[in-house]
Amino acid sequence: MSDLEQSRKPVLQAHYDVPKVWTWEGEAGGQFGGINRPDAGARHEQILEQGEHRFQLYSMATPNGVKVTLMFEELLELGIQQADYDAYLIDIMEGEQFGSGFVELNPNSKIPALYDKTENIRLFESGSILLYLAEQFDQFLAKDVAEKAQVMNWLFWQMGSAPFLGGGFGHFYSYAPEKIKYAIDRYAMETKRQLDVLNQQLEKNEFVAGAEYSIADIALWPWYGVLVLGELYSAAEFLNVQQYQHVQRWAKNIAKRPAARRARVVNRSWGENNEQLPERHSRTDFNKLGL
């Protein structure tokens, strides 16, 4: 048995006597164990840098972060230069999301966070940011009431569903200090159910909310699209993602978009050198990456 297979071998957890009142016992282990705590607020002083553009993005190239860089790059691909932006890396593994400057933008200490300098508006939660930008530039959000309703349905479906994929399946499959069969089975089942929901929707439609590319696709692709492309949690074989043929078609088509290729490298500080652009300030920043 390989080291990878051994690491994913289910481990039976000892019986847990649930206390009357839960108390934090310190670091629980796992990849994020060193930064997770049961309280909110800033842990250290931090002044956020600002660039010259109207929009200042503070983020990391996780799926939630890629949603926003994908939106910006799609707007710029349309020639909307007013959507140009500066992007600064917030390394969540180093606890930079708990700096005072970032917490002022997002009291929930999660990436992404966006500051609109022109309007002096602070934005957090990826869905809120996508909707704000769509309305600011009148793009990727249908004008017809019924069509817009479908975009909003699928945008909020993503907001409610992805935590089961990320914090549920992704955590217990990839990051938890022990492999617990019950937890992995529970969240794998829900992830596959969600993929089937998408597959059935995409069997009837080119894009998630209908015939037009929208913020629903932009929100969903960094999670479910990247998952079925085999680039999230190394779980493609485990989840048998090849069976979701319509999700595969949709995911591959979006992956070919120039904006998607650029979006995935912004605020990325891992992988091959040609996949990393920790900070982004200009379209020319991509030149050295061949994008």
Task: Give the pLDDT confidence score for residue 14 in this predicted structure.
Answer: 66
Q: Does residue 1 surpass a pLDDT of 50?
A: no
Residue 228: burial class (beta carbons within 10 Å; 0-12, 13-18, 19+): buried
Q: Does residue 263 surpass a pLDDT of 90?
A: yes
Q: Tell which residue, 24, 13, 2, 1, has the closest CA to residue 184.
A: 13
Share of the chain above pLDDT 90, in %: 89
Residue 2: pLDDT band by 50, 70, 90 thresholds? very low
Residue 5: pLDDT band by 50, 70, 90 thresholds? very low
Q: What are 15-33's pLDDT values in tens digits?
A: 889 999 999 988 777 777 7
Q: Do the Cβ atoms of 42 and 98 come closer than 8 Å? A: yes
Q: Does residue 11 surpass a pLDDT of 60?
A: no
Residue 98: pLDDT band by 50, 70, 90 thresholds? very high
Task: Give the pLDDT confidence score for residue 15 in this predicted structure.
Answer: 80
Share of the chain above pLDDT 70, in %: 95
Q: Do the Cβ atoms of 265 and 275 come closer than 8 Å? A: yes
> For 55-139+264-289, which CATH superfamily applies?
Glutaredoxin (3.40.30.10)
Mean pLDDT of the chain: 94
pLDDT, mean of residues 47-71? 98
Q: What are 148-174's pLDDT values in tens digits?
A: 999 999 999 999 999 999 999 999 999
For the chain, what is the total number of helices (H) and then of strands (E)?
Answer: 10, 4
What span, in angstroms and rounded, lies between the C-alpha atoms of 127 and 192? 23
Residue 35: pLDDT band by 50, 70, 90 thresholds? confident
Q: Does residue 131 surpass a pLDDT of 50?
A: yes
Q: Does residue 232 surpass a pLDDT of 70?
A: yes
> Strand 113-116 to strand 55-59: parallel, antiparallel, or no bridges (unpaired)?
antiparallel
Amino acid at 258: P
pLDDT, mean of residues 66-81? 98
Angle, to 10 degrees, between the axis of helix 181-204 and the axis of helix 145-163?
160
Residue 4: pLDDT band by 50, 70, 90 thresholds? very low
Task: Give the pLDDT confidence score for residue 231 in this predicted structure.
Answer: 96
> What's the CATH code, domain 145-256?
1.20.1050.10
Q: Indicate where the chain has its CATH 3.40.30.10 domain(s).
A: 55-139+264-289
